[in-house]
Structure 1
Amino acid sequence: MAQLLTPQRGHWYKRSDLDTIFEVVALDDDEGTIEVQYFGGEIEEFDINSWQLLELSQAAPPEDWSGALEVDDYTRGDDLDLAPGSLDDVLNIIDSNDY
């Protein structure tokens, strides 16, 4: 039976059926959709009903969270004092135009 987890942007989950992890990258409350990106780079969108049917567990982010994003050292913040720790950190930096 699937464990009901509330999707949260920036959080990582494991799909038991695919034995893979993904990060929630966008939530659209108006449309009722959840957009996820698998570590390999693939993007998938679920409606809330489909999300609830998934066999999910919480997962730790991968050690190299950038995965297929091809983030270079400058983008990661290595040359800056930002040092984001997840894709959500990067998105928050971009959203705030504080880069």
Structure 2
Amino acid sequence: MAMGGEPVIGDWYMAAGGDTFEVVAYDPDDQSVEIQYFDGAVEELDLDSWHEIHASPIEPPEDWSGSMDVSREDSGLDDILSAHSLNSPLDDPEL
């Protein structure tokens, strides 16, 4: 996590107003920063605006799915886990 200054793609921050967001793109040549709030809204800031919001690095939220708008059912995680049970491949007589 960056400790102030330039934004780091993939890091989470909290603005002085309390909004939390992840940096999803940063172009130092264009001096633009794209952020995605936890609710999924995306905003592009110029580098001056980035410095004006006084963003402080924070730990990522435990429930990362908020910004992705993905429920457990939509993620397919249950299907993956049931397809890859704890059985050994050697237990399959077809092998």
Q: State the TM-score, normalizing by the size of structure 2.
A: 0.66
Contact preservation (8 Å) 1:16, 1:56? yes
- Aligned-pair Cα RMSD in Å: 2.2
* 2:75 matched residue in structure 1: 73
Identity of aligned residues (%): 44
In the alignment, the residues of structure 1 paired with residue 55 and residue 67 of structure 2 have an alpha-carbon distance, to the nearest angstrom, of 22
Residue 22 of structure 1: how far off its partner (Å): 0.2
Residue 57 of structure 1: how far off its partner (Å): 1.0
Contact preservation (8 Å) 1:25, 1:35? yes
Structure 1 segments of 4 or more deviating over 4 A? none
Residue 4 of structure 1: how far off its partner (Å): 4.1
Q: Which residue identity lines up with residue 47 of structure 1 in the other structure?
A: D
* 2:7 matched residue in structure 1: 7
In the alignment, the residues of structure 2 paired with residue 6 and residue 64 of structure 1 have an alpha-carbon distance, to the nearest angstrom, of 25
Greater radius of gyration (CA): 2
Which stretches in structure 1 are left out of the alignment for 5+ residues? 81-99
Q: Give the aligned length.
A: 75
Q: State the TM-score, normalizing by the size of structure 1.
A: 0.64
